Amino acid sequence: MERVPILKLGDILIVSIQIDLQDQGVLALQEDLADAVVEHRARGVIIDITAVEIVDSFIGRMLSTIASISRVLDAETIVVGMRPAVAITLVELGLSLGGVRTALNLEKGVALLHSRDGVDSDTVTR
């Protein structure tokens, strides 16, 4: 089973979703991310979905669940890189990414996390 790698940059974790995740893959990612948040004391999780062309309720639920898990571990989740077509589909399907914040791209996601209290922006560049 392929696992989605989790990158660490300062106190932010970055995940780039590129493969079609099935049930097992989603569970593994949720576990890996929860472990990584605790291990690295991460304050933010950024999930890049640039490569995701189709978002259905399964993916939507995954993103919401990851955000919920991160939240109870005191980390904020931001989804970045959503394609315009994906955004349109989400709205048309009535899917709301409950509890998930979004930003246009990785850069804006990092800026969003840095604008909050508690995240030490210095550690990202050192």
Question: What mask of x and - would describe binding to its own copies in positions 54 to 93, judged by CB under 8 A?
Answer: ---------------------------x------------
Q: Is position 10 an interface residue for its own copies (rule: CB under 8 A)?
A: yes
Q: Please report, in angstroms and rounded to a whole number, the separation of the first and last CA atoms in the chain.
A: 34
- Least separation in angstroms between CB 47 and its own copies: 12
Pairwise CA distance, residues 10 & 123, whole Å: 5
Q: Is position 39 an interface residue for its own copies (rule: CB under 8 A)?
A: no
Sign of the torsion angle spanned by Cα atoms 113, 118, 70, 91: negative
Q: Nearest CA to 102 among 61, 54, 65, 67?
A: 67
The residues of the shown chain that bind its own copies, judged by CB under 8 A, are: 2-5, 7-10, 14, 16, 18-19, 48, 50-51, 81, 105-107, 110-111, 114, 121, 124-126
